[in-house]
Amino acid sequence: MSSPTPGAAAPELLERRHDGVLWLTINREERRNAISPGVLAGLADALTRADADRSLRAVVLTGVGDKAFCAGADLQSGKSFKFDYAEPNQAIANLFRLARRLAVPLVARINGACMAGGMGLAAMCDLAVAAPHAKFGLPEVKIGLFPAQVLSVLNGLIGPRALSELCITGEPIDAQQALALGLVNRVCDDLDAGVQALLDRVLDKSPAAIRRGLYLMKRIGAMSFEESMAFTESQIGLFALTEDAAEGQAAFREKRAPRWSGR
């Protein structure tokens, strides 16, 4: 990534690519990595490009520093809940829609407070690793509001009783509680090592299987049982037609490591 021009404002979203992984870092530490229009636009642009880049194997989303992953809306701006009411779609809702269509694994590296809209960013990810000091919450009721779009990505991720308590009380939970609820996959004392260990378990697998698999998983969630069975019946044959499927089975028979083409 190129260095910013001297005197220019620092970008609100940092991008770094390494070994087939795109790292996206919210760069608003003075605002506890709160969401801004620039952050939303940057994330939407980056994820759109990532979905079209077949050489990318995963995307990691995190925040600068060790205090906050994302504190949600930037209340200090006084404009967080000012909308163009003639516009039926909002930027954060469109980001969640985009993440739901993404066929590249999206991993949340939760390095601190994960609140309100930040919970939405974490929930839109496929996998999540948290530091032990991370806190999670939906405190909107404390300022006279209620989580809205965030509910669409949290609903089904954790149980309805736990979600109701988070929304209605506005009180936070710690990382171990988040783990018990299934909000995160693991809590790691060494956050970077934990993220890398999870990535390592993804990067040695078939890119084609993961890409088609995410497509499958993200579409059956809203289907009835019979719709889901009919859809998956048609999809399994397509998995078997990929080059990766032929290579994976050959490697199994020949007792060697597969050489994935991603096709």
Q: Which residues of the chain have pLDDT under 70?
A: 1-8, 77-83
CATH of the domain at 158: 3.90.226.10
Strands (DSSP E) contained in the chain are 13-18, 21-26, 58-63, 68-70, 106-110, 113-115, 127-130, 135-137, 173-174, 186-187
pLDDT at 90: 85
pLDDT at residue 8, as a whole number? 63
Structure tokens at 159: 């149980």
Same domain, 213 and 198: no
Residues taking part in catalysis:
140
Same domain, yes or no: 158 and 243: no
Total structural domains within the chain: 2
Direct distance between the N- and C-terminal alpha carbons of the chain, in angstroms, rounded to an integer:
29
Check: pTM over 0.75? Answer yes or no.
Answer: yes
- Could you tell me if 189 and 78 lie in one domain? yes
Q: In the prediction, which pLDDT does 10 show?
A: 81
pLDDT for residue 114: 98
120 and 38, same domain (yes or no):
yes
**Closest by Cα among 40, 157, 159 to 97:** 40
191 and 221 share a domain?
A: no
DSSP code, position 3: P
Q: Cα separation of 11 and 25, whole Å? A: 10
Other C-beta atoms lying within 10 Å of the C-beta of residue 65: 17
Predicted pLDDT at 86: 76
Q: What is the pLDDT of residue 215?
A: 93
